[in-house]
Amino acid sequence: MGNLTAHAGISSVWFLPGPDSPYGRRMSQTYEFVVVANRLPVAAETAEDGTITWVRSPGGLVSALEPTLRREPAVWVGWSGRYAPDPYSTGDLGVELEPLPDGVGPCPLVEIELTREEMEGYYEGFSTSTLWPLYHDAIATPVYHRHQWEPYVAVNRRFAEQVAEIAAHGATVWVHDHQLQLVPGMLRERRPDLRIGFFLHIPFPPVELFLQLPWRKEIVQGLLGSDLIGFHTPGGAENFLAVTRRLLDVETDLDSVTVADLSPAGGKRRVGVGAFPISIATGEYEAIARTAEVQDEAASIRAKIGNPKHVLLGVDRLDYTKGIDVRLKAYVELLEDGSIQPGEAVFVQIATPSRENVEDYQKLRDDIELMVGRALGDHGVLGAPPIQYLHQPFTREELVAFYAAADVMLVTPYRDGMNLVAKEYVASRIHDDGALVLSEFTGAAVELDGSFLVNPYDADGVKQAIRDAMAADPEDLRRRMTRMRAQVENHDVDAWAKSFLDALEAPQ
């Protein structure tokens, strides 16, 4: 591993393809463009017999960055989904992870090795049990544990050290999401020559909530190591600027913060702050939806559930922010009050398994499954259940077939940075039909003018929006869907990445 083993705790697995590969690199090679995220774009799936298969990582980040990676040569730094052996707990010194196999992933990959214990503190602990609920309006109660903050700092430092090692002089580094908010500051200390961008994929909370965080100053200072900090919405950027004004003695204006430059040059440094709403690979979703296979599969899905008049659909990671309970409750009440007649509608909820080691997520699964079970018991009809619940992952083509099969898409989060599912539904509606019921508290609501907007806390409002969506005149739906489709066609993920990277490269 050459000079890399000199850094305790960092073990990098290089992508070592054949001589003709555009991704080939030597150990000493450095990169002009470095993507840094908690997860690599591929993930290890370990079978019971210990064999590992490499699959595409789930979630929006990989889909969001793939088009950019195809255009710009890059390296991706992150965790692989497998645990590093922990010599302290196993007593097994000298055991090393096998290198990542050649050719997995859309670009060269550098693995940050993390032990089970480190992931518990840094990811399941501080990132998922403190930052995630706090940044989503404290829907679940955030916990503030010092023993989880410490591994968060240590793991962020390890990422920063690794990036400092492989970034070329003056390289562009793009750091992603709440798990890595200290990386920009730690990286700037080591490498003031770099151009550092940070993008937050989840909401940034209002001042009153953020101030609960015992390490609030450290987080803000970490982020301010960036040259540009991006949020999904203007509201997120405003919240960040307000927090910065409140906590630090720095100048802010509408789209920047001016901080002291800690490099030898000294003076001041401008940190750009702005809204860069993420999107999807719209053309790819449309192309998939246009295939005969997907249209046939959509018809087959409808047939399998009894060809009801209305198919309603929810697609989410099983997460308490997504408001799966909101739409279930509304749907059940519509069955109860006779707004939906027996056999008239089927609600299909796809809930992709997520964060299954975290207690809040285990409880959520129990709660949702209790609600589904009860609703089926109370309102089930032999051979024609009004709800279909699928706690399993699907391929992208299968998901598009569900989108194509659904008359009404229900997206009802209590809070969501953007929500790509809403945009994917719109992109998949190639016949300009279908209705989108969308929570006001998603980033997507800022853009998708044409949806049936709901306040997820207003149960009657949600019920009414579902009634309106089911009863809407087809011409009204066509006008709404056409507007929304134009939006996602004109603002796809490529445009998102380009606008962020252009702003990052622009002279400050």
Q: List residues near ligand GDG by CB under 6 A.
A: 58-60, 63-64, 201-202, 278, 315, 317, 352, 393-396, 399, 416-421, 424
For residues 399 and 488, which CB has a smaller minimum distance to ligand GDG in the complex? 399
Burial class (CB in 10 A: 0-12, 13-18, 19+), 26: exposed
Q: Please give the backbone phi and psi of residue 232, each rounded to the nearest 5 degrees, phi first.
A: -75, -35
Q: How far is the CB of 421 from ligand GDG (least distance, A)?
A: 4
Q: How far is the CB of 469 from ligand GDG (least distance, A)?
A: 19
For residues 61 and 219, which CB has a smaller minimum distance to ligand GDG in the complex? 61
For residues 315 and 481, which CB has a smaller minimum distance to ligand GDG in the complex? 315
Q: Is 24 helix (H, G, I), strand (E, B) or coil?
A: coil
Cα gap 338→493, rounded to integer Å: 42
Q: How far is the CB of 319 from ligand GDG (least distance, A)?
A: 6
Beta bridge mates, 33: 172
Q: How far is the CB of 352 from ligand GDG (least distance, A)?
A: 4
In this structure, what token pair is assigned to residue 315? 């697609």
Q: How far is the CB of 20 from ligand GDG (least distance, A)?
A: 31
For residues 83 and 394, which CB has a smaller minimum distance to ligand GDG in the complex? 394
For residues 305 and 444, which CB has a smaller minimum distance to ligand GDG in the complex? 444
Beta bridge mates, 254: none
Query: Can you point out the beta strands (E) in 189-265?
Result: 195-199, 228-231, 251-253, 256-260
Q: How many other CB atoms are found less than 10 A from the CB of residue 470?
A: 19
Cα gap 498→486, rounded to integer Å: 19
Cα gap 137→414, rounded to integer Å: 8
For residues 149 and 414, which CB has a smaller minimum distance to ligand GDG in the complex? 414
For residues 303 and 390, which CB has a smaller minimum distance to ligand GDG in the complex? 390
Q: Per-residue b/e over 255-280, b at no fewer than 16 CB within 10 Å?
A: bbbebeeeeeeeeebbbbbbbbbbbb
Q: How far is the CB of 471 from ligand GDG (least distance, A)?
A: 27
Handedness of CA 51, 49, 44, 81 (dihedral sign): negative
Q: How far is the CB of 415 from ligand GDG (least distance, A)?
A: 9
